């Protein structure tokens, strides 16, 4: 469903302005119809005082009650996309580029800061940084937001892709579609790819110095990131000059919860050494019956061949590899990323999804 193009939006605004200057009832035109669709997309769904779609949700955990922050953008009763940020420990903010692509197609999406992230509570307890606990948190968020199998799409990016997949393995009966964005389904395979492929793409003298710092476990040494930012991040995380990285990305990463990151990921940028070190769900992929889109980037920290494989192992899978993209393909190959994502969402909604297709 196409709500409006930029030219149609201009027509809608012009029509509204003219309507205020005349008592003549406007005839039913395309712009009037678009205006109705636009009003429906942005209509409030909450009663009482309006607060921009923000919903703070109380969740139960083994350590008591905590609150997590969510914000709805737009309204579409058939397509609601809950966003799971990466890191682990980043914030919802780097998803703000969605606002340039999803609203004009009438797609509702929901920002969500996981516990310990951004605007949500931070219990500052490493025992809370647990994949099974986060799965139950997502389920409580789903229930609170009344997301159902008739409208609920889950998009997880990076670490969020692990969380989204793990949620689907337990609760796919509640999903309408699953998007695994820029995340392999095996952390050991990810570590091997980082070591055997990505590391070897660096200049030998740079890699040697990085390895020496890691061997000393001197991860707080400023030289570590000084080497990695231009030689690894700008090549495989977001392929733009560092001084041109989008502000929502730097803002989000600047707020990262390092306790959560190190506990789950580990301190090294080459592979995973934390709680997720042995996580591997590759063999379980055939159990997923919900429509799945696996997104990767040709220059990603994740093996693009693995992302294609995901789509072949699940029962109803599509793949999308962004040729100019890296780990942040939603920024450095935006047209490919969002064209494919929107095609997937619409095809699932319309019942025209063709499993096995490359979007």
pLDDT given for residue 12 in this prediction: 28
CA-to-CA distance for 261 and 267, rounded, in angstroms?
8
pLDDT given for residue 11 in this prediction: 30
Cβ distance 359 to 343 under 8 Å? yes
Q: How many CA atoms lie within 13 A of 270 on its CB side?
A: 23
Query: Do β-strands 64-73 and 177-181 pair in parallel, antiparallel, or remain unpaired?
Result: unpaired
Query: Per DSSP, which regions of 7-93 are E strands?
Result: 54-61, 64-73, 80-84
Report angle CA 228, 220, 129 to the nearest 5 degrees: 95
> What positions carry a catalytic annotation?
158, 300, 327
Cβ distance 148 to 155 under 8 Å? no
CA-to-CA distance for 75 and 108, rounded, in angstroms?
5
Helices (H), the chain: 6-19, 30-41, 131-145, 159-171, 187-193, 204-215, 222-228, 247-254, 258-264, 304-313, 329-332, 334-350
Sign, CA dihedral 235-117-250-152, equals: positive
Report angle CA 266, 267, 273 to the nearest 5 degrees: 30
Contacts of 21 (CB under 8 A, 6+ apart): none
Contacts of 248 (CB under 8 A, 6+ apart): 93, 94, 95, 96, 97
Query: Could you tell me the pTM of the whole model?
Result: 0.89
User: Cα-flanking dihedrals φ and ψ of residue 137, to 5°?
Assistant: -65, -45
pLDDT given for residue 32 in this prediction: 62
In angstroms and rounded to an integer, the radius of gyration of the C-alpha atoms of the chain is 21
Find how far residue 149's CA is from the centre of its chain: 19
CA-to-CA distance for 60 and 133, rounded, in angstroms?
10
Cβ distance 265 to 272 under 8 Å? yes
CA-to-CA distance for 119 and 285, rounded, in angstroms?
33
CA dihedral 207, 208, 213, 216 (to 10 degrees): 140
Could you read off the pLDDT tens digit of each residue along the chain, which spans 359 residues? Answer: 332 233 222 232 223 332 333 333 334 444 666 777 888 898 888 888 999 999 999 999 999 999 999 999 999 999 999 999 999 999 999 999 999 999 999 999 999 999 999 999 999 999 999 999 999 999 999 999 999 999 999 999 999 999 999 999 999 999 999 999 999 999 999 999 999 999 999 999 999 999 999 999 898 899 999 999 999 999 999 999 999 999 999 999 999 999 999 999 998 877 788 999 999 999 999 999 999 999 999 999 999 999 999 999 999 999 999 999 999 999 999 999 999 999 999 999 999 998 887 78
């Amino acid at each position: 469903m196409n709500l409006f193009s930029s030219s149609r939006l201009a027509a809608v605004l012009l029509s509204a302005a003219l309507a205020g200057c005349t008592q003549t009832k406007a005839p039913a035109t395309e712009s009037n119809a678009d205006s109705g669709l636009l009003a429906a997309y942005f209509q409030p769904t909450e009663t009482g005082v309006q607060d921009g779609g923000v919903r703070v949700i109380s969740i139960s955990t083994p350590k008591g009650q905590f609150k997590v922050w969510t914000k709805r953008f737009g309204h579409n009763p058939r397509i609601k996309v809950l966003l799971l940020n990466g890191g682990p420990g980043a914030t919802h903010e780097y998803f703000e580029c969605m606002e340039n692509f999803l609203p004009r197609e009438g797609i509702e999406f929901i920002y969500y800061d996981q516990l310990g992230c951004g605007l949500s509570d931070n219990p500052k307890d490493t025992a809370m940084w647990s994949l099974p606990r986060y799965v139950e948190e997502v389920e409580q968020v789903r229930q609170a937001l009344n997301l159902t199998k008739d409208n609920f799409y889950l998009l997880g990016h990076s670490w969020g892709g692990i969380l989204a997949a793990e949620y689907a393995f337990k609760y796919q009966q509640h999903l309408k579609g699953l998007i695994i964005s820029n995340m392999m389904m095996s952390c050991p395979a990810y570590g091997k790819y980082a070591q055997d492929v990505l590391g070897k793409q660096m200049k030998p003298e740079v890699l040697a110095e990085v390895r020496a710092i890691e061997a000393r476990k001197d991860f707080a040494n400023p030289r570590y990131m000084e080497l990695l930012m231009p030689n690894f991040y700008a090549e495989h995380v977001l392929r733009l000059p560092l001084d041109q990285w989008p502000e929502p990305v730097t803002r989000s990463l600047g707020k990262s919860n390092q306790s959560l990151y190190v506990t789950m990921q580990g301190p090294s940028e080459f592979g995973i050494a934390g709680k997720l070190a042995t996580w591997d769900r590759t063999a379980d992929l055939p159990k997923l019956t919900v429509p799945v889109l696996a997104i990767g980037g040709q220059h990603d920290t994740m093996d693009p061949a693995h992302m294609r494989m995901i789509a072949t192992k699940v029962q109803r899978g599509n793949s999308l590899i962004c040729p100019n993209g890296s780990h942040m393909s939603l920024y450095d190959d935006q047209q490919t990323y969002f064209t494919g994502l929107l095609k997937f969402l619409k095809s699932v909604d319309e019942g025209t999804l063709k499993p096995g297709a490359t979007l």
